[in-house]
């Protein structure tokens, strides 16, 4: 059974910026440690240079986190890795914590795949982020989900291009939690389909600062308010508004440091091409607003070398 998780947005937001707190691109420089369950001898998560047909290279070369850098995934497998997120400064604040990563996936659709769990009590109990009704994330970016062979909701897809995924928590409810652990689990059944599994790169934890928030009540939209392609981009990017409610609005681009670099009015009923030739390589945040200033969607964009 396929289920689409609704994206949650905030209304009447006047200013948005973000800054990276922790990241891991599986190269030398990183400040977000990833812990692979090495006690499980069947764990197939590996950090290294992928060398498969679909998983042929990392996004940030040479390394990525892969369910085996060379071989297809085995049957009857359960492999995990996890990391810790600092949430102490989130609760009761005007902050949003965004966990973001890029991935490729090659699994038997609706059968094998991945599950993402979160623990708010020092790993004593875990809950699937898609079933978290207590500390329910307010936004699940590109998390179109399937039911795995275990009966649980999870990610079970074939996509050979890099796709960004995100999970967002807000601080308005004031939950007294200082930290949370995130666990990614890959699962396969007893049928060998000779597929490549799951590959992850550029994991980041960001705090989104929302200033001058007039109404913190959430409203829902379709899973993705807009699409960016290509992403990563080099010298240009296309912004495609999905099922536009407004005939026109504004497109904004913030650097990951929070500096506003671009803000322009555009018609929303046609693709919007943006010139990135003056942008330095790195991460940016693209947001779209209605003419009243309502934030309709936010997505991360990577500018690759080759432009400026």
* pLDDT tens profile 212-260: 333 333 333 333 578 898 989 999 999 988 867 788 998 988 876 667 7
More reliable by pLDDT, 91 or 54: 54
Domain that holds residue 110: 3-211
- 146-188 pLDDT tens trace: 899 999 999 998 989 888 888 877 665 445 678 899 999 999 9
Q: In which element (H, E) is residue 228 found? A: strand 226-229
* Mean pLDDT to the nearest integer, 100-107: 92
Find all residues with CB under 8 Å of 192, minimum gap 6, and list them: 72, 74, 75
Same domain, 204 and 269: no
Same domain, 202 and 252: no
Average pLDDT of the chain?
Answer: 81
pLDDT of residue 294: 65
Same domain, 242 and 287: yes
Q: Are 76 and 189 in contact (CB under 8 A)?
A: yes
Query: Looking at the domain assignment, is residue 132 inside a domain?
Result: yes
Same domain, 105 and 238: no
- 67-92 pLDDT tens trace: 999 999 999 999 999 999 887 776 65
Give the whole-number percent of the chain exceeding pLDDT 70: 77
Same domain, 183 and 285: no
Query: Looking at the domain assignment, is residue 308 inside a domain?
Result: no
Same domain, 164 and 232: no
pLDDT of residue 50: 98
Same domain, 197 and 232: no
Same domain, 14 and 90: yes
Long-range contact list for 87-91, CB < 8 A, 24+ apart? Answer: 87/169, 87/177, 87/178, 87/179, 87/180, 88/178, 88/179, 89/207, 90/169, 90/170, 90/171, 90/207, 91/171, 91/173, 91/174, 91/175, 91/176, 91/177
pTM score of the predicted model: 0.68
pLDDT band at 16 (very low <50, low <70, confident <90, very high): very low
Q: Which of 211, 241, 275 is the last residue of a domain?
A: 211
Same domain, 117 and 180: yes
* Mean pLDDT to the nearest integer, 3-22: 41
Q: Which of 188, 211, 234 is the last residue of a domain?
A: 211
Same domain, 174 and 53: yes
CA torsion sign, 254 to 259 to 261 to 263?
positive
- Report the C-alpha dihedral over residues 171, 208, 45, 163, rounded to 10 degrees: 120
Q: Which of 211, 239, 270 is the last residue of a domain?
A: 211
Same domain, 241 and 193: no
CATH of residue 207 = 2.60.120.200
Query: Looking at the domain assignment, is residue 217 inside a domain?
Result: no
pLDDT of residue 211: 42
Query: Looking at the domain assignment, is residue 90 inside a domain?
Result: yes
Res. 138: pLDDT tops 80: no
Query: Looking at the domain assignment, is residue 219 inside a domain?
Result: no
Structural domain count of the chain = 2
CATH of residue 248 = 2.60.40.3080
Query: Looking at the domain assignment, is residue 216 inside a domain?
Result: no
Query: How far does Cα 77 stand from its chain's mean position?
Result: 24
Same domain, 129 and 260: no
Query: Looking at the domain assignment, is residue 43 inside a domain?
Result: yes
Q: For residues 79 and 46, give the distance between their C-alpha atoms in angstroms, rounded to a whole number.
A: 10
Res. 292: pLDDT tops 90: no
Query: Looking at the domain assignment, is residue 138 inside a domain?
Result: yes
């Amino acid at each position: 059974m396929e289920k689409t998780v609704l994206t949650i947005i905030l209304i009447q937001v006047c200013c948005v910026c973000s800054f990276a707190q922790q990241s891991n691109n599986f190269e030398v420089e990183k400040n977000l440690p990833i812990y692979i369950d090495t006690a499980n001898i069947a764990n197939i998560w590996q950090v290294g240079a992928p060398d498969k047909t679909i998983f042929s290279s990392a996004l940030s070369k040479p390394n990525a986190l892969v369910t085996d850098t060379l071989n297809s995934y085995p049957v009857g497998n359960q492999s995990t890795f996890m990391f810790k997120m600092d949430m102490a400064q989130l609760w009761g604040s005007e902050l949003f914590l965004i966990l973001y990563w890029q991935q490729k996936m090659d699994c038997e659709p609706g059968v094998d795949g991945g599950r993402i769990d979160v623990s708010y009590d020092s790993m004593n109990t875990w809950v699937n982020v898609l079933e978290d009704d207590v500390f329910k994330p307010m936004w699940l970016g590109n998390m179109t989900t399937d039911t795995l062979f275990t009966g649980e909701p999870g990610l079970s897809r074939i996509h050979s291009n890099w796709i960004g995924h995100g999970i967002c928590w807000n601080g308005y409810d004031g939950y007294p939690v200082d930290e949370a652990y995130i666990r990614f689990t890959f699962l396969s059944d007893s049928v060998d389909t000779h597929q490549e599994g799951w590959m992850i790169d550029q994991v980041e934890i960001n705090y989104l600062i929302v200033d001058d928030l007039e109404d913190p009540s959430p409203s829902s939209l379709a899973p993705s308010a807009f699409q960016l392609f290509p992403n990563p981009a080099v010298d240009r990017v296309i912004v495609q508004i999905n099922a536009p409610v407004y005939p026109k609005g504004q497109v904004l681009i913030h650097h990951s440091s929070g500096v506003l670099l671009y803000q322009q009015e555009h018609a929303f009923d046609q693709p919007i091409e943006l010139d990135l030739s003056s942008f330095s390589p790195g991460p940016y945040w693209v947001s779209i607003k209605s003419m009243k200033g309502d934030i309709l969607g936010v997505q991360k964009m990577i500018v690759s070398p080759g432009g400026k």
